[in-house]
Amino acid sequence: MMQGDEFKGELSDVELDAVLGDFKASAHAWSEAAYNRPRKIVVARQRSWKLATGWALGCVLIAGTLTGGVHQRQVRQERANAVAAEQVRQQQEIARSAQMKVRAEDSDLMASVETDVSRAVPSAMEPLAQLMDEGESQ
């Protein structure tokens, strides 16, 4: 047993059993109090917000990626349509100029054929034409 601050080196078995019994009862009481005390579920709530935030950001990222891809595809399609329209316009311009050239050639050909085939005065009207020429010269 203890006297003051001195400690005797030997304890009896009865005293040792009493000390260990008190320690055991104290440990059981502490354990019972720890298990039965009310607890807050703060960790689960924080975790659920983190999980929801992660999913929301992931969805935003996926939506942004898909939207960017669709926009890029639309821009490429518009460019391709503009290039195709420009090519069609150029082809129409080339066809129009070729058509105008053919018309000009046809017009020139018809004029040359007309001058080659026609006479200034028909043969039945020749005497009258000569009279007029003589009348103008006098």
**DSSP secondary structure of 29-40:** HHHHHHHHS---
Say what the pTM is. 0.40
Q: What is the pLDDT of residues 17-65, one digit of tens each?
A: 899 999 999 999 999 988 888 877 665 555 678 888 899 999 999 999 9
d(CA 130, CA 132): 5
Largest CA-CA distance found in the chain, in angstroms, rounded: 177
66 token code pair: 């898909």
Predicted pLDDT at 59? 96
Judged by average pLDDT, the poorest of 38-47, 75-84, 100-109, 119-128 is 38-47
Q: What is the pLDDT of residues 101-111, one digit of tens each?
A: 999 998 988 88
- Whether residue 120 is predicted with pLDDT greater than 80 in this model: the reply is no
